[in-house]
Structure 1
Amino acid sequence: MAGFNLTPSDPSTFILMGIPGLEAAHIWISIPFAMFYFIGLLGNFTLLFVIGKEQTLQKPMYLLLCMLALTDIGTSTSVVPKALCIFWFNLKSITVGGCLTQSFFLHTVSATRSAVLVTMAFDRYVAICNPLRYATILTNAQIAKLGLVGLTRAVLCILPLPLLLHRQPFCGNHIIPHTYCEHIAVAKISCGDITFNRIYGLVIAFVLTGLDLTLIALSYGLIIRAVFRISSKQAHQKALNTCTAHICVILISYTAGLFTILNHRFGQGTVPHVHIILANLYLLIPPMLNPIIYGVKNKEFRDIVGKYIWVIIWGH
């Protein structure tokens, strides 16, 4: 195997160790990893296919679901194929350029997903608080522009991370005790001063997450205020039901993400393999659950998917 011929001292490569301490169990660990990954791909590609085929679903809310699906596919795909190569074939080597590219892509897509979740909260706010103006405030073109703003923000904020890593000296230690090139995991093996890397990474994580969570909280605060002004309990229930799926996705995404960020920087007492497994599950569980959550909660989408499944099974 190519991975066996490379040594940790090779200046052009890093060595990803997978899950240190659990090497003997790599094959078994790969089973749920692969299963979660392929379920996530199936769900998200199904969502993209159905929305792309159905004219009735090509409206702002579903365009946002497509953006979320694309970020979910990008997040898991940036990490899982390489992790499976480590687990199945012991192919642990990755070029320095490949490592920095993976780190940039992973963090950029994660930041973009956060921006999409904010836009989805704004979409729910307009739908509930200004329903008569919804069609004029949120058009498909406006959603596409907001998505582009979110992507641009992510690129500009994340780009300095790999550039900072590229300037770091790595001396003889090129072994990364992880399954993927997470920014701080790579920085920790540098023999240089990584104080600025730590500070910048932490500031960006908390500024982006803090700003996005504040905007989401503001949107839902206004939604709750508007809902309680409605006298009908049935209207209360209907309004809140439209937000349930989005709230579930937010809780899954941000809770796991904040835990991973804080644990990587401050969780010195955490057993390394526990942290690495949790860091991978954070990238696997939301992409797997998001299309399921929206499929279960959205009757219009669920009915159309059921129609396609019926056609596939029975041919008419």
Structure 2
Amino acid sequence: METTVAHTQALAQMQRNLESCILGKSHEIQLLLTALLAGGHVLLEDVPGTGKTVLIKALAKSIHGQFRRIQCNPDLLPTDITGVSIYHPKQEEFLFRPGPVLTNILLVDEINRATTKTQSALLEAMEERHITVDGELHPLPTPFLLLATQNPIDFEGTYTLPEAQLDRFMFKFSLGYPDAETEQKMILSQSKQHPLESIEAVTDAEHVYAMQKQARDIHIDDAVVAYLVAIARATREHPSVFLGTSPRATISLVQACKAYAFLQGRGYVIPDDVKFLAPYVLGHRLILKSEAIMEGATSVSVLEKVFQSVPVPIRLEK
């Protein structure tokens, strides 16, 4: 099943929009679009000023969806995210005032500055696609995408994300600093106008949802599924790993591979999709042994060894 012309054009225009705001980061932009198509959430871990918030705002403008932003701090309460029921004397009843989580794209800035209780309020939204307030369920809009940022170097006043919440993020990656040439172009391009001001919507939330449904129907061969499972099992048995990837991580990788194949205009998943996406989908879910970390092991180096040990399927049915 090939992607339709309308879908292909919309995705190409979205990528151009994002690349006009964040120069030299086409690799990371493809990951973000893959997450959007797969319906997965993204954790962006990077130093301040690398364009994380600009990239997310550009995505929200491109799909003309509802956008909300939460600036996390230790004073933030769970009801500041989900919303709260307020008593109205004239109507003599409690009325629900929705919080910022009821949106299409939610930016949770510096998520590790929120307390663990507040972070847990996001778990239900991320996994179940609804929230519960005063015993009543409130479904989230469709599509719903949560993008969180955290600073990897400033640990004062922060709360480490628990493994259960990290496992809810389909992707974790960083933008990093641009090279010298790209930074010069960035300075010149923003000297007169911020690139966000010229961004126009190229699609809408309904169209994005239609693309998500089609991406889920992308074909993945049984041999590729077996390849994925072998990789997951190899992480659990690796001598440097204390806790390997969960079945949820394997399912997330399958969904991401389908979305990435759709983004590339293919109707099927290939093993190279798995190799490309696995470090961003599985890396943050691995917990390494302390002695392995002291010896210089990283999630990336462990996954590289896993790939070398697992044979790649050669013949696939398209």
TM-score interval (norm. to shorter): under 0.3
Larger radius of gyration: 1
TM-score when normalising by structure 2: 0.23
1 or 2 for the larger relative contact order (CA 8 Å, sep ≥6)?
1
More strand by share: 2
More helix by share: 1
